[in-house]
Amino acid sequence: MSAFVRENIALDARQHIVARFFAPPGDAKAAVLVVPAMGVTQAFYAPFAEWLAAQGYLVATFDFRGIGQSRHGPLRGLEVDVLDWARQDCAAMVNAVTARAGERPLYWIGHSLGGQILPFVPNRERVARIVTVATGSGYWRENTAALRRTSWWLWFVAAPLSLRLFGYFPGRRLRKVGDLPRGVMEQWRRWCLNPEYAVGVEGESARALYAAVATPIVSLSFTDDEYMSLRNTESIHGQYVNAPRTLRRIAPKEIGEKRIGHFGFFRPKFERSLWREHLLPALS
């Protein structure tokens, strides 16, 4: 098991996020930044990060502001949205990993939201390769059929009502996503209600940012993902119009499993079938 170092990454004089750095047993051949899904803590990615470090990579995980170890006090009153997470939290992590990696290449592994927000990261040119995992647009009418049956309740009832009552989204109490700062949930809701997701809400400047990404992308998606449909996946990656894209859609039966889902990729049981067979080739 690879040891990790916990470190506070300063955003400004008042705010910081918490990161973990997993060092390889010898010299690192490259660095990997694992960018989490909405509401998911970095602890979820620890076994994956430990394994990747054992393969010779310097690996970093982190919690967005208001999530996990980066939640410092009540969420009510915390002023942050998804674009702040990208422009400030992710940018700070890119700088922190770069400082440790030196001239070694930096790879971005984005889970769900983590694969959506790279265009908004101001120092993204440092990233040499992108792997998105279970990443789609989030537009609710293109969600899987099962999710569409409940997402209307989330977006039109639970989210607006709970934000009004609590000043943040009490996702843990509602068993939906997890606790989220008000600004994050409000912005994410707007994105998910728009057919073009973030681009449709943030406008032509956002479209230009997606178009400006020229870094190679490998997308790993799964036929049994309970959140992201094929249409969701194609929609978000279609915004990266100038990036070389390889979209791999994997069915559980192809790897001898009954289920992968939206979160399964990062579970240790898939070390041989997904991590070795699909991830490592994408990083080499």
Where do the domains of the chain lie, and which CATH numbers do they carry? 4-283 (3.40.50.1820)
Question: Which residues have a Cβ under 8 Å from the Cβ of 176 and sit 6 or more positions away?
Answer: 154, 158
Residues of the chain with pLDDT under 70: 1-2
pLDDT tens for 37-95 read: 999 999 999 999 999 999 999 999 999 999 999 999 999 999 999 999 999 999 999 99
Q: CA–CA separation, 185 vs 159, rounded Å?
A: 8
pLDDT score recorded for residue 144: 86
Question: Which residues have a Cβ under 8 Å from the Cβ of 109 and sit 6 or more positions away?
Answer: 32, 33, 34, 35, 131, 133, 279
